[in-house]
């Protein structure tokens, strides 16, 4: 009896959301830099959270026959029509681009120039300059109640409650929502927690005919800050891909019931990665997931929304943030408004989390918590363009050529560690592009003795 | 040669002279684990800050109460307790600003001296330090229960169990009472919901839960004196923590539950009286020192007999 009341207490306040992801409900993901489909079947979710107020934006890059599109999301409260909204898909692309892992490039200077300048200016250290880079009746028979029915944008939305998971699943399947086999237990668990089901389909009459579907948004208040993912793992083929963009006033968002780790960042990688950044990111992510035994949530970006460095895309504007659900922007009365003076600082912190999951590695729904940590973090990979010229021109140029060869070794090593690719294959590829010790062939300077650290220290 | 052969035994005896030695060793191990394996883990700075806060409060509290009681200046200066409190705070508390760790240590130990019933402090210092910061500062102070990977977790459990079994404080009852009570609720709930059992298993494998169960709720000084009282206490904390977790989603649920139920310790002590635990007592006075290297010191008890 005690237990029952415990469980009931859980079910009441929770408004959780999950994707049934029937076959192709969500797919496609574009990274800013590469602008290529990287991860198929990826769901993208923006969560704006302040206290208990939450706005969830669920995006899909669904392409194809829109009559096939369906979305099944468990919720607890029955939202009113005003709490549901459709957003501009460009918003998701923008926040995706702004937070995407990025490449930065640096160009080495002519080492002879540097040596000359150093001679002139004695101890001045030089830094290379960075550059940027008949429903009702059937329902009743099956014990399913249609609690509310809305038409929002191109979507027909129903809020369903049910007595039994079997009845609900039968009803959903009969009405064109493809619920995978084996979902009874998961659906049943949500129903026992007194949750309702938010289901959406595209109304072809109200759809403008484009293959692009706009993201659906729901505003709600709840103590729980979570994202039910279990329906998506039922009978899923392979791993699911999910991106969560969390917007808060206070700081970074982390998962409470799963380990959050930072995607390795700030490595020097070979120049050729520039042409295959998408593949690099994909391989690296897969390798890092493997290293964590598939059991971690990756933080790819955490940053104050007022700025970026380097910017993969401009920060989101106030109106964009507002549309994504950042409800506190206009509430801060002490905000000094300075219209017309460029972008204003906004009190919003974004966290980009990337999860690859299945029922085995992520058995439970994702639970988040907002932290007060405002440290900036970004997935950033560095390309260093060598200076090309006559390495025999001066002694410094010869030294530089030797250091280049060492640097390229390090870059190959970093790439191998990040992606799990074969070190020798990387070296071969680099050599074919002119990044190998072959550059030393033309260097006429005699190989110098390697200096001891104390010699480097005091220069004697 | 003889001295070398005897060294392990001497070391063991010295470690075992005070159960807190084992605790410090285990917590130090967990600190290292977190330091190595977590991106959002402990740092030396946070340890130093919480230790400084705890030590200053311990020093102030000790000298003031000694001055009042007419004891020597540093009589019973329990710096080891302050160290354990600091380690617990560093391992569990995450904060937006460095001063928060210092404040947590200071507040935790201060409340140990200020809030006492029958001469026994009722709040676990580490727990109340963290809880105070979370309540006062909102999201600027938090607990990250998910930040321990699976492998470190297994190692952590092994270390914690070893430390507690070896420790002569004999508080395994309360750790197991809490963990079993908490697990029972989660498993029963999963069974009722029809969830697969991997879900409660996953919920139980939290590093923060481990540290809480083995190093916080087990504190002999702020838990009931009798075994029955301790088990009752552990089960109550487990129940409240489970409700906090699945009900209103309270942050740092086990810590909040322990702080909220601290008042029951003096009540349980009244109804189920037993010998009061003391950390360091003149052991040699109680039992004449034996210079044999018995491997069975676990049989000994360190509870005082008034």
pLDDT digits (tens, 9 = 90+) for A217-262: 999 988 889 898 888 777 666 788 889 999 999 999 999 989 999 9
The pLDDT tens digits of the residues spanning A380-427 come to 888 888 888 888 878 888 888 888 888 999 999 999 999 999 999 998
Higher pLDDT, residue A153 or A27 = A153
A68 confidence band (pLDDT: 50, 70, 90): confident
pLDDT at A13: 26
Q: How far is B249 from chain A (nearest CA, A)?
A: 6
Who wins on pLDDT, A437 or A444?
A: A437
Of the pLDDT bands very low, low, confident and very high (cuts 50, 70, 90), residue B236 is: very high
Indicate the number of domains in chain A: 1
pLDDT given for residue B1 in this prediction: 53
pLDDT, residue B286, reads: 38
A-proximal residues of B, 192-251, CB under 8 Å = 192-196, 198-199, 202-203, 206, 242-243, 246-249, 251
Q: Is residue A421 part of a domain?
A: no
Residues A441-456, mean pLDDT to the nearest whole number: 70
Residue A198 confidence (pLDDT) above 70: yes
Q: Is the pLDDT of residue A206 over 50?
A: yes
pLDDT of residue B184 exceeding 90: yes
Give the B window 44-73 contacts with A, CB below 8 Å.
none
| Tokens linked to B5 | 């052969």
Torsional sign, CA B100, B102, B106, B109: positive
Q: How far, CA to CA in Å, does A49 sit from each of A318, A320, B183, B236? A: 16, 15, 31, 33
Q: Is the pLDDT of residue B70 over 50?
A: yes
pLDDT, residue A40, reads 56
Looking at residue B181, what is its pLDDT?
94
Average pLDDT, chain B: 81
- Mean pLDDT of the B160-182 span: 79
Q: Mean pLDDT: which of A333-347, B34-48, B64-78 is highest? A: B34-48
Q: Which of A122-131, A234-243, B96-105, B230-239 has the lowest mean pLDDT?
A: A122-131
- Label each residue of chain A as H, E or C: CHHHHHHHHHHCCCCCCCCCCCCCCCCCCECCCCCCECCCCEEEEEEEEECCEEEEEEECCCCCCHHHCEEEEEECCCCCHHHEEECCHHHHHHHHHHHCCEEEEEECCCHHHHHHHHHHCCCCCCCCCEECCCHHHHHHHCCEEEEEEEEECCEEEEEEEECCHHHHHHHHHHCCCCCCCCCHHHHHHHHHCCCEEEEEEECCCCCCCCCCCCCEEEEEECCCCEECCHHHHCCCCCCEEEEEEEEECCCCEEECCCEEEECCCCEECCHHHHHHHHHHHHHHHHHHHHHCCCCEEEEEEEEECCCCCCCCCCCCCHHHHHHCCCCCCCCCCCCCCCCCCCCCCCCCEEEEEEEEECCCCCCCCEEEEECCCCCCEECEEEEEECCCCCCCCCHHHHHHHHHHHHHHHHHHHHHHHHHCCCHHHHHHHHHHCCCCHHHHHHCCCCCCCCCCHHHHHHCC
pLDDT tens string B112-144: 888 887 777 888 899 999 999 999 998 899 998
Is the pLDDT higher at A23 or at B249?
B249
Beta bridge partners of A383: A105
Contact A213, A24 (CB under 8 A): no
| pLDDT (0 to 100) of residue A400 | 86
pLDDT at A377: 92
Helix or strand (DSSP H, E) at B210: helix B207-211
* Arithmetic mean of pLDDT over chain A: 78
> Which range is least confidently modeled, B4-8, B28-32, B251-255?
B4-8
pLDDT class of B77 with cuts at 50, 70, 90: confident
Confirm or reject contact between A251 and chain B (CB < 8 A): yes
B141 contact A CB<8A: yes
Q: Assess A64–B contact: CB distance below 8 Å, yes or no.
A: no
- C-alpha B100/C-alpha A244 separation (Å) is 29
In this prediction, residue A36 carries a pLDDT of 31
Structure tokens at A154: 């191109």
Do A10 and B247 lie within an 8 Å CB cutoff?
Answer: yes
pLDDT at residue A12 is higher than 90? no
- Order across the sheet with A196-202: list the strands: A70-75, A196-202, A155-162, A144-152
- Chain segment A362-390, per-residue pLDDT in tens: 988 999 999 999 999 988 888 888 888 88
Q: Is residue A285 part of a domain?
A: yes
Q: Which residue has the higher pLDDT, B9 or A326?
A: A326
- Indicate yes or no: CB of A254 within 8 angstroms of CB of B194: no
pLDDT digits (tens, 9 = 90+) for A141-170: 788 888 888 988 888 888 988 888 888 888
Give residue A203's domain range. Answer: 2-102+132-381
Residue A321: is its pLDDT beyond 70?
A: yes
ipTM summary value: 0.81
Q: Which of A124-133, B92-101, B122-131, B244-253 has the lowest mean pLDDT?
A: A124-133
Residue B276 has pLDDT above 80, yes or no: no
| Residue bearing tokens 């930065």 | A104
Average pLDDT over residues B171-181: 87
The reply to whether residue B193 touches residue A363, judged by beta carbons under 8 angstroms, is no
Chain A touched by B184 (CB under 8 Å): no
Q: Is A168 on the interface with B (CB under 8 A)?
A: no
Q: Answer whether residue A27 shows pLDDT above 70.
A: no
Residue A337, pLDDT > 60, answer no
Q: Percentage of chain B surpassing pLDDT 90?
A: 25
Q: Which residues of A touch B202 (CB under 8 A)?
A: 257, 363-364
Chain A residue with CA closest to B149: the answer is A259
Who has greater pLDDT, B47 or B12? B47
CA distance B46 to B52: 10
> Does residue A133 surpass a pLDDT of 50?
no
Q: What is the predicted pLDDT for the residue at B166?
A: 65
In this predicted structure, the answer to whether residue B11 has a pLDDT above a threshold of 50 is yes
Tell which wins on pLDDT, A330 or B57: B57
Determine the Cα–Cα distance for residues B129 and B102; give it in Å rounded to an integer: 10
pLDDT higher for A38 or A321? Answer: A321
Nearest-neighbour CA in chain B from A101: distance (Å): 18
Chain B residue numbers touching A292 (CB-CB < 8 A): 149
Q: How confident is the model at residue B183 (pLDDT cuts 50, 70, 90)?
A: very high
Residue A177 domain flag: yes
Average pLDDT over residues A80-100: 88
Closest partner CB to A372 (pick from B140, B147, B195) = B140
The yes-or-no verdict on residue A38 having pLDDT over 70 is no
A166 to chain B, any CB pair closer than 8 A? The answer is no
Read off the pLDDT of each residue in A29-55 and give the average, rounded to a whole number: 66
- pLDDT of B287 reads 40
């Amino acid at each position: 009896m005690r237990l029952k009341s415990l469980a009931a207490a859980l079910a009441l306040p929770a408004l959780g959301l999950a994707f049934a992801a029937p076959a192709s409900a969500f797919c496609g993901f574009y990274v800013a830099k590469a602008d290529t489909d990287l991860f198929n079947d990826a769901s993208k979710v923006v969560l704006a959270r302040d206290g208990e107020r939450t706005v969830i934006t669920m995006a899909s890059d669904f392409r194809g026959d829109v009559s096939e599109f369906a979305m099944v999301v468990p919720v607890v409260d029955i939202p009113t029509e005003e709490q549901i909204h459709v957003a501009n898909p460009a918003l998701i692309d923008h926040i995706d681009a702004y937070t995407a892992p990025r490449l930065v490039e640096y160009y080495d200077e002519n080492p002879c120039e540097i040596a000359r300048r150093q001679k002139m200016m004695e101890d001045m250290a030089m830094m290379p300059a960075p550059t940027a880079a008949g429903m009702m009746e059937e329902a009743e028979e099956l014990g399913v109640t249609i609690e509310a029915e809305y038409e929002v944008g191109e979507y027909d939305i129903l809020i369903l409650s049910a007595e039994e998971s079997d009845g609900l699943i039968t009803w959903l399947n009969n009405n064109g929502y493809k619920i995978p086999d084996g979902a009874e237990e998961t659906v049943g668990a949500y129903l026992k927690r007194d949750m309702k089901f938010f289901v959406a389909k595209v109304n072809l009459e109200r759809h403008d005919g484009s293959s692009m579907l706009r993201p659906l948004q729901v505003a709600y208040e709840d103590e729980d800050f979570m994202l039910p993912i279990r329906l998506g793992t039922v009978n899923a083929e392979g791993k699911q891909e999910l991106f969560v963009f969390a917007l808060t006033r206070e700081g970074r968002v982390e998962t409470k019931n799963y380990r959050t780790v930072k995607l390795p960042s700030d490595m020097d990688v070979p120049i050729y990665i520039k042409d295959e950044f998408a593949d690099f990111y994909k391989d690296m992510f897969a390798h890092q997931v493997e290293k964590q035994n598939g059991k971690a949530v990756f933080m790819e970006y955490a940053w104050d929304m007022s700025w970026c460095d380097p910017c993969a895309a401009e920060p989101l504007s106030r109106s964009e943030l507002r549309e994504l659900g950042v409800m506190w922007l206009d509430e801060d009365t002490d905000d000094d408004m300075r219209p017309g003076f460029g972008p204003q600082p906004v009190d919003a912190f974004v966290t980009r989390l990337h999860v690859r999951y299945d029922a085995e590695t992520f058995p439970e729904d994702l639970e988040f918590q907002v932290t007060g940590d405002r440290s900036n973090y970004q997935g950033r990979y560095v390309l260093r363009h060598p200076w090309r010229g006559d390495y025999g021109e001066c002694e410094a140029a010869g030294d530089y050529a030797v250091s280049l060869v060492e640097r390229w070794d390090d870059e190959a090593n970093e790439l191998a560690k990040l992606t799990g690719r074969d070190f020798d294959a990387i070296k071969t590829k680099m050599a074919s592009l002119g990044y190998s010790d072959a550059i030393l062939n033309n260097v006429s300077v005699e190989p110098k003795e390697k200096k001891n650290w104390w010699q480097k220290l005091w220069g004697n | 040669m003889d001295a070398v052969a005897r060294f392990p035994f001497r070391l063991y005896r010295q470690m075992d002279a005070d159960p807190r030695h084992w605790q410090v060793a285990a917590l130090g191990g967990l600190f290292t684990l977190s330091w190595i394996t977590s991106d959002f883990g402990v740092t030396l700075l946070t340890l130093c800050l919480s230790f400084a806060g705890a030590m200053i409060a311990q020093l102030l509290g000790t000298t003031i109460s000694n001055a009042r009681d007419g004891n020597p200046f540093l009589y019973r200066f329990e710096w080891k307790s302050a160290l354990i409190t600091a380690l617990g705070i560093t391992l569990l508390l995450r904060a937006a600003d460095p001063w928060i760790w210092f404040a947590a240590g200071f507040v935790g130990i201060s409340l140990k001296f200020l809030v006492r019933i029958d001469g026994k402090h009722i709040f676990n210092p580490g727990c109340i330090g963290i809880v105070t910061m979370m309540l006062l500062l909102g999201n600027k102070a938090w607990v990250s229960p998910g930040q321990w990977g699976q492998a470190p977790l297994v190692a952590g459990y092994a270390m914690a169990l070893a430390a507690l079994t070896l420790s002569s404080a004999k508080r395994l009852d309360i750790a197991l009472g809490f963990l079993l009570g908490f697990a029972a609720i989660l498993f029963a709930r999963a069974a009722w919901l029809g969830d697969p059992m991997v879900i409660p298993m996953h919920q139980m494998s939290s590093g923060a839960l481990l540290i809480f169960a083995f190093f916080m709720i087990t504190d002999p000084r702020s838990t009931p004196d009798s075994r029955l009282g301790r088990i009752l206490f552990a089960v109550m904390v487990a129940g409240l923590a489970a409700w906090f977790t699945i009900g209103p989603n309270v942050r740092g649920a086990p810590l909040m539950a322990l702080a909220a139920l601290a008042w029951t310790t003096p009540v349980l002590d009244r109804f189920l009286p037993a010998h009061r635990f003391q950390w360091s007592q003149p052991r040699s006075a109680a039992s004449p020192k034996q210079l044999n290297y018995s491997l069975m010191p676990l049989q000994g008890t360190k509870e005082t007999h008034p």
